[in-house]
Structure 1
Amino acid sequence: MKTDEVSLAYRAAEMYYVNEMNQEQIASELGISRSKVSRLLTSARKLGMVKIELVEPDSFDLSALEEELCRKFSIREAHIVASVEGTEKEIKQRIALSFQNNILKIIEGKKSVGLGWGTTVYEAVMSLPNKLGQLPDMKIIPLLGGLGQSEKTYQINNIVEKMANSLGATSVFLSAPAIVNNAEQLNMMKQVGSVQNVVNEWAHLEAVIFGLGAPAGMSAVLDSNLPGEIILELVRKHAVGDIVSRFLNKDGEIICRKIEDVLLGIPFYELLKVPERICLSGGEQKAEGIRAALSRGYITTLFTDIRTAQRLVA
């Protein structure tokens, strides 16, 4: 390759890789054909002028983005994961791995940890290794009853048991549904000794772990036996997500208080008293709900994905 061709290849590579010009722009700038530009770029790579390095997503340094997220919403910690495909399944898997790598540090010294349900929480907890820790003085407590008969991601006692076994902690079970028929049935259920025991534990929680659900129309909770008038109100008021089945609008306000008459779950004001509130939620369809929760201070530690985080700080 002639000397002037080498220089031209270098100039073309610099314009393409450094100045981010496209091949048509380079051709116009250098007064050559587009096919010539393509050949020059190939030559530049063969001569070693260009070195391309691929970095695994797990190796990305996302600390600057995490710090920006913490600063913008005044939260204690953000754990952001990178995904290649950006699919819902992949995002949940990567959040699960990050949760596994950080959970012991976050709950260190805690004696009472509350646990919610949902697809991301389920993925994260079920992915925990069998002997991650040995914390016999810690109790894992359900934040609400179970949902549905067959959907495993909402069977709270199974999730509680798995997390307790992984951490060497003690399980506390709530053998009752999250959604009941009416206020009278709810009050009767709260009189049952085993249920009352869990209700009493809610006042002493030191950390809680929960997901943040999808907007109305996509939420699995709305497919449960919630009364029709409640579902209609949530859709009409444009619920953008939920935390332990308390639905938020885009401003983070709790909407549809009627759900308290049929929901067996930690009161929301009790949840907000817990000093460490850990949310696991990702996917761009969740961004508006996460933003609403962050803006109201409902979350102190967030596990999410890079695309969602970028939307949150934009």
Structure 2
Amino acid sequence: MTEASPRLSAGQVRLLTKVARMYHERGLRQPEIATSLHISQPRVSRLLKRAVELGIVRTIVISPRGVYADLEEAVERRYGVSEVVVADTGDETDEQRILPALASAAAVYLETTLTGGERVGISSWSSTLLAAVEAMQPRPVRATDEVVQVLGGMGVVTAQATATRLTGRLAQVTGGNAVYLPAPGLVASSLTRDGLVADQAIADVLRAWRHLTLLLAGIGSLEPSPLLRQSGNAIAETEMGHLRRLGAVGDVCLRFFDEHGAHITTPFEDRLVGIGADVLRRVPRRVGVAGGERKYNAIRAALLGGWVNVLITDHRVAERLAAEG
């Protein structure tokens, strides 16, 4: 009990304890306690409050197995982000095997936090994001105004269909209007890019990026994902070597950064058809979904650089983040 407790008589402490036990252990309501002890209900309420103040009653929240509330809060504090969601992936370490748990966690997060009026930007090349939106259930009320593609998705036919499905499916389940970006993510030259962004249809999409309230993206490591590699939008190996020499460790929407999260101006920056680094980091809620040890350095750097302020990851990565800072 606190230092104030010695001022109470033994009888008062006994009454506090009795009322607390009747309410918290026996489940009696306050009017029932008042009747049983022949005291007023307002006094019962005051006694219960006092029991908490003195430490006679202590509320303890016990996280169920598979829930990592303490770990989430530790990562949030260490990196100054607004929210961390940790998925329970058991003993799995293989990236493909932890993907379903990450996707499920992302789906639940979106279902519970998209409450209407959102303008959501979504990246094109993430197997985890695709699995997440596929797992989402259609909402009975409209949860978004627009779902906007923020990275060019045109490429080989199958990959283009995947990029379109990501944007379209999220729009479908949230009731928003789908806004597609009809362009490749990476083009052959800056002149080609300039010609594309001058097109009215693409220029309208670029303007929509400035009004996003939420960005949903994967966090890429330096090595491109199989989905990106198959799309025809992957970075050439010669350019990957240059990125390594510049110290790049990862990317969000093909905007690369070093181990401290600092933006790296790449040789192909002016050939990208996608949301710019400055516009990206001005989106109020930036949700990054990524896990696996291979991506640890990229995830940590993305947090340090403010590329994401909401992280959905697996418990092994979260434990390293909390421990290493």
TM over 0.5: yes
Counterpart of 2:312 in 1: which secondary structure?
A: strand
Corresponding position: 1:67 with 2:73: yes
The Cα of 1:126 is off from its aligned counterpart by: 2.1
Q: Is the 8 A contact 1:114 1:209 kept in 2?
A: yes
The worse-fitting range, judged by mean Cα deviation, of 249-258 and 145-154 is: 145-154
Opposite residue 63 of structure 1, the aligned amino acid is A
**CA displacement 1:11-38 (0-9 Å, x = unmatched):** xxxxxxxxxxxxxxxxxxxxxxxxxxxx
The Cα of 1:127 is off from its aligned counterpart by: 2.2
The Cα of 1:95 is off from its aligned counterpart by: 1.2
Counterpart of 1:86 in 2: which secondary structure?
A: coil
Q: Flag structure 1 segments of 5+ consecutive residues without an equivalent.
A: 1-56
Counterpart of 1:112 in 2: which secondary structure?
A: strand
Counterpart of 2:267 in 1: which secondary structure?
A: helix
Corresponding position: 1:278 with 2:287: yes
The Cα of 1:61 is off from its aligned counterpart by: 2.7
Counterpart of 1:240 in 2: which secondary structure?
A: strand
Aligned length: 257
Aligned pairs for 1:203-242 (under 5 A) are 203-216=210-223, 221=228, 224=233, 226=235, 229-242=238-251
Match of 2:87 in 1: 81
Distance 1:234 1:220, change over 3 A: farther
Match of 2:99 in 1: 92
Distance 1:127 1:61, change over 3 A: closer
Aligned pairs for 1:93-112 (under 5 A) are 93-112=100-119
Counterpart of 1:254 in 2: which secondary structure?
A: coil
Counterpart of 1:282 in 2: which secondary structure?
A: coil
CA distance in 1, matches of 2:210, 2:69: 34
Q: CA RMSD in A?
A: 2.4
The Cα of 1:156 is off from its aligned counterpart by: 2.3
Corresponding position: 1:296 with 2:305: yes
Distance 1:116 1:58, change over 3 A: farther
Opposite residue 321 of structure 2, the aligned amino acid is L
Q: Is the 8 A contact 1:104 1:133 kept in 2?
A: no
Match of 2:261 in 1: 252
Percentage of pairs with the same residue: 27
CA distance in 2, matches of 1:153, 1:305: 28
CA distance in 2, matches of 1:121, 1:292: 20
The Cα of 1:217 is off from its aligned counterpart by: 6.9
Q: Flag structure 2 segments of 5+ consecutive residues without an equivalent.
A: 1-62
Given the alignment, which residue of 119, 122, 132 partners 2:127?
119
The Cα of 1:225 is off from its aligned counterpart by: 5.4
Opposite residue 83 of structure 1, the aligned amino acid is T
The Cα of 1:242 is off from its aligned counterpart by: 0.9
Given the alignment, which residue of 155, 162, 171 partners 1:148?
155
Opposite residue 251 of structure 1, the aligned amino acid is H
The Cα of 1:121 is off from its aligned counterpart by: 1.3
CA distance in 2, matches of 1:153, 1:240: 26
Opposite residue 264 of structure 1, the aligned amino acid is V
The Cα of 1:298 is off from its aligned counterpart by: 1.7
Distance 1:101 1:227, change over 3 A: closer
Match of 2:142 in 1: 135
Opposite residue 139 of structure 2, the aligned amino acid is L
Counterpart of 2:220 in 1: which secondary structure?
A: coil
Counterpart of 2:207 in 1: which secondary structure?
A: helix
CA distance in 2, matches of 1:186, 1:198: 14
The Cα of 1:237 is off from its aligned counterpart by: 2.8
CA distance in 1, matches of 2:140, 2:296: 32
Q: Is the 8 A contact 2:153 2:163 kept in 1?
A: yes
Q: Is the 8 A contact 2:143 2:176 kept in 1?
A: yes
CA distance in 2, matches of 1:87, 1:127: 21
CA distance in 1, matches of 2:198, 2:101: 41
The Cα of 1:255 is off from its aligned counterpart by: 2.0
Q: Is the 8 A contact 1:76 1:301 kept in 2?
A: yes
